[in-house]
Chains A and B, each alone.
Chain A
Amino acid sequence: MKAFTTLEGIAALLDKANVDTDQIIPKQFLRKIERTGFGIHLFHDWRYTDNEGKNQNKEFSLNQERYKGATILLTRDNFGCGSSREHAPWALEDYGFRCIISPSFADIFYNNCFKNGMLPIVLPSSDVDELFQDIEKNSGRTLKIDLASQKVISKNGKEYSFVVDPFRKDCLYRGLDDIGLTLIHEKKISEFENKNKQEYPWLYIA
């Protein structure tokens, strides 16, 4: 997995609450058996005016010139709700986003981000409001994210602290493979299974 230490980049605004994973990556693109190539379909139904994805919808924020090359997405409550599809973070990452800032995330989506080298940051609504206003007013405004100190730093000098679970932070910071980390405890898993098999033999199907 790609490590995440610091990131400085353009922040794009998506001023919507409850953005669901069906919007992030509509179902017609879930039939692929690969992990890559989902970026062009990101927010398909909002981003394009046609089914083929040829005509850009000029109204949609990510199509604005000022957000070209954005690596940070700033959005509203409950981002990533709905389906568990990891295709949603795959599409965001493939498009170029490495960090998403919102007042709240849906549980599964939040988890899925960390597995793909992306950092979802929860900030209080008032902080998110402030960042929205700042970015709206200043075209090309960049933000700096520092995972080690757990801070979002705006070009205007303001800093916003965020909380992240220490285990997830460590994995992301070092780009660790979490299956490998779990398998360090292989002995404990085996011990659990041996004991469990005695107590619940019917859970082990011959």
Chain B
Amino acid sequence: MKTMFEKIWDLHLVNEENGSSIIYIDRHLVHEVTSPQAFESLRLTNRTVRRPDATMATMDHNVSTRNRDMDLADPISALQMKTLMNNCKEFSIRLFDLNHPDNGIVHVVAPELGVTQPGMTIVCGDSHTSTHGAFGALAFGIGTSEVEHVLATQTLVQQKPKTMEIRVEGKLGKGVTPKDIILTIIGRIGTDGATGYVIEYTGDTIRSLSMEGRMTICNMSIEAGARAGFIAPDETTFQYLKDREFSPSGADFDKALEKWKKLGTDSGATFDKTIIFKAEDIAPMVTWGTSPGQVISVTSNIPSPSDFSESIAKKSAESALQYMGLKEGTRLQDIEVNKVFIGSCTNSRIEDLREAAGLVKGKKVSSKVNAIVVPGSGRVKRQAEKEGLDKVFIEAGFEWRNPGCSMCLAMNDDVLDPGDRCASTSNRNFEGRQGKGGRTHLVSPTMAAAAAIEGKFVDIRNWK
């Protein structure tokens, strides 16, 4: 009897000694920011890329969402993107560059092309690689030295993590989304609650979610400290994968399906830890501080440092309130925002955009708010435009942009100004993350859309 983690681990074990294991890597995703030094090092050591066919690159972190012309980007960003182009050419790696119609955020592009499949080991020099766990893949972020290691050897040296089951049971209330589930989990277990673990999300609530929703949950596993987070593949997964460009096809699909069906955790297998959540208890969530664990339900008031018993948590709360310009006891729904960002590898997929558009249709963005929608990929953008979602957003007063990581980490020119307060569908509310002095509140796409219209946070469960 094995957990899904143990099955995938054992299937990829190349060597084990002295407590360290060499694990084979099925897919390596590459982007412009964390790869140049790895390629340079390969050249200096006369090594090459072992499996170009298993490697895929996109540019996303640095790209402008206003135009697709690399030469209009600042010269340092342009050099980084051109370096990726040259490296991919030199080492024969498939690249989705700015001119490619399917360019976009690496964690949006790979799944929608069928690159991400159940049972795979997937790595990328980006912490949100955990996203791909939604398909029952063991997927995790690595540093640049490890990027080089995978390029050269198609393997990684790993210490076996522990396993944690997070079970979510019951029916989600109206207006409560996968984003609220994961924010609730992080709020309870803390940003280091899963450090040293791989999380398997289980339970009927998780099973009821679409692939997009599952990706949102797995995406933020890293915000709970986990090495990876994943969900056993099921009919929803298999249907999603059918006929995708890089999915196995014909007889191979049937063969793959047989293997995928065996990946789930055996009944009777044990986890090192299990934590249970009730879907009924989950409300729309909003972060109030500078760490994703500093999160409360939309009906709450801003907490006081004295609410925390531990001295370090108290101190963190004090400095978070100061940075965020908030007073303890303030009603969350009285807090005004002047920026709204709908996008990022957490919440920029078609389903996210459909839900947000559904809410803003026929309404107008508050005159005090500047709101942007950044689709996760070229495909998402085309699909949204086919459905007329772009028009809904534009008519409501949102800006409709080109794909990229954009204001999630603000490496391009989508940056908050000091003192800006932003309702953001991204994954990190760290100090300065979206711009120095900018204040980030993490929310779901529908909560962000409603905040754009009202100019403040509202409880979408009873918002007309």
Chain B minimum-CB-distance residue to A201: B252
Is the CB of B291 closer than 8 A to any CB of chain A?
A: yes
Q: Select one of A23, A31, A196 contacting B77, CB under 8 A.
A: A31
Is the CB of B277 closer than 8 A to any CB of chain A?
A: no
Q: Which of A84, A192, A205 has the most chain B CB atoms closer than 10 A to its own CB?
A: A84
Give bound CA distance, A45 to B433, whole Å.
Answer: 11
Whether B77 contacts A203 by the Cβ 8 Å rule is no
Is the CB of B269 closer than 8 A to any CB of chain A?
A: no
Whether A108 contacts B142 by the Cβ 8 Å rule is yes
Whether A203 contacts B26 by the Cβ 8 Å rule is yes
Is the CB of A35 closer than 8 A to any CB of chain B?
A: yes
Whether A77 contacts B312 by the Cβ 8 Å rule is yes
Is the CB of B305 closer than 8 A to any CB of chain A?
A: no
Q: Could you tell me the distance in whole angstroms from the C-beta of B305 to the nearest C-beta in chain A?
A: 13
Residues of A within 8 A of B315 (CB): 15-17
Give bound CA distance, A206 to B51, whole Å.
Answer: 11
Pick from A59-67, A135-143, A146-154, A182-190 the stretch touching chain B: A182-190
Chain B minimum-CB-distance residue to A169: B18
Whether B80 contacts A107 by the Cβ 8 Å rule is no
Q: Encode A48-85 as 1/0 by CB contact (under 8 A) with B.
A: 00010000000000000000000000001110011111
Is the CB of B53 closer than 8 A to any CB of chain A?
A: yes
Whether A104 contacts B143 by the Cβ 8 Å rule is no
Whether B312 contacts A45 by the Cβ 8 Å rule is no
> In which size bucket is the chain A interface?
35 or more
Chain B minimum-CB-distance residue to A205: B53
Chain A minimum-CB-distance residue to B75: A31
Q: Select one of A83, A89, A170, A182 contacting B22, CB under 8 A.
A: A182
Residues of A within 8 A of B196 (CB): 107
Give bound CA distance, A85 to B436, whole Å.
Answer: 19
Whether A205 contacts B22 by the Cβ 8 Å rule is no
Q: Could you tell me the distance in whole angstroms from the C-beta of A170 to the nearest C-beta in chain B?
A: 8
Report how many residues on chain B are interfacial, defined by Cβ distance under 8 Å.
74
Q: Encode B236-269 as 1/0 by CB contact (under 8 A) with A.
A: 0000000000101000100110010000000000
Residues of B within 8 A of A170 (CB): 18
Is the CB of B301 closer than 8 A to any CB of chain A?
A: no
Q: If A33-B80, A108-B142, A115-B145 touch, does A182 touch B430 (CB 8 Å cutoff)?
A: no
Q: If A23-B431, A107-B225 touch, does A30 touch B411 (CB 8 Å cutoff)?
A: yes
Q: Encode B162-184 as 1/0 by CB contact (under 8 A) with A.
A: 00000000000000000000000
Give bound CA distance, A3 to B231, whole Å.
Answer: 40
Q: Select one of B19, B77, B191, B248 contacting A81, CB under 8 A.
A: B191
Give bound CA distance, A77 to B312, whole Å.
Answer: 9
Give bound CA distance, A35 to B86, whole Å.
Answer: 18
Give bound CA distance, A193 to B145, whole Å.
Answer: 23
Q: Encode A85-96 as 1/0 by CB contact (under 8 A) with B.
A: 110010000000
Whether A18 contacts B18 by the Cβ 8 Å rule is no
Give bound CA distance, A26 to B410, whole Å.
Answer: 10
Give bound CA distance, A170 to B18, whole Å.
Answer: 10
Is the CB of B116 closer than 8 A to any CB of chain A?
A: no
Q: Encode B1-32 as 1/0 by CB contact (under 8 A) with A.
A: 00000000000001101111010101000000
Whether B152 contacts A83 by the Cβ 8 Å rule is no
Is the CB of A158 closer than 8 A to any CB of chain B?
A: no
Q: If A22-B433, A82-B127, A84-B34 touch, does A165 touch B19 (CB 8 Å cutoff)?
A: yes
Q: If A28-B411, A107-B196, A203-B54 touch, does A84 touch B141 (CB 8 Å cutoff)?
A: yes
Q: Select one of B74, B79, B432 contacting A22, CB under 8 A.
A: B432
Is the CB of B144 closer than 8 A to any CB of chain A?
A: yes
Is the CB of B214 closer than 8 A to any CB of chain A?
A: no
Question: Which residues of B are interface residues toward A (Cβ below 8 A)?
Answer: 14-15, 17-20, 22, 24, 26, 33-34, 36-37, 40, 45, 47, 53-54, 61-62, 74, 76-77, 79-80, 83, 120, 125-127, 140-146, 148-149, 152-155, 157, 159, 191-192, 195-196, 222, 225-227, 246, 248, 252, 255-256, 259, 291, 312-313, 315-316, 319, 409-411, 428, 430-433, 436
* CB-based closest 4 A-B pairs: A115-B145, A202-B248, A86-B143, A33-B36
Q: A18-B191, A22-B431 are in contact. List 6 more A-B contacts (CB 8 A).
A: A33-B79, A85-B34, A86-B37, A106-B195, A112-B143, A179-B45
Q: Mind listing 24 A-B residue pairs with CB under 8 Å? A: A18-B192, A18-B291, A18-B316, A31-B33, A31-B76, A31-B79, A33-B83, A34-B40, A78-B192, A78-B195, A83-B126, A85-B34, A85-B143, A112-B146, A165-B20, A167-B159, A182-B149, A182-B155, A185-B22, A188-B14, A189-B22, A189-B155, A192-B14, A193-B24
